[in-house]
Amino acid sequence: MTNLQQCQELLEQNGINSLSEIDFDVNGKVHTLSYNYIIESFMQASDESQLVFFTALQKALEVENMGAEKFFEGMGQLLLMSHLSEKFGG
């Protein structure tokens, strides 16, 4: 089983739809990212980074009260920031 499949299965086991989406407002423009997109993006990183992501996801799911939502908000913000810094030559 790939790390991507493990992440998706972990969400499923916790009753979370991997197609759930989060909206981010960046300078008045709304960007919508799905949990799946966020996972897939991080799974393109090194094996070590994938393991860190998976472990952090496990920890977030152990926390009740929207642990997954907060986790994906943070990861989505990281993706958007890195994308914008690449876009603007940062």
The reported pLDDT for the residue numbered 66 is 74
**Token reading at 60:** 């977030």
Q: What is the pLDDT of residues 27-83, one digit of tens each?
A: 899 999 999 999 999 999 999 999 999 999 999 999 876 789 999 999 999 999 887
SS (H, E, C) the chain: CCHHHHHHHHHHHCCCCCCCEEEEEECCEEEEEEHHHHHHHHCCCCHHHHHHHHHHHHHHHHCCCCHHHHHHHHHHHHHHHHHHHHHCCC
- State residue 88's pLDDT score: 64
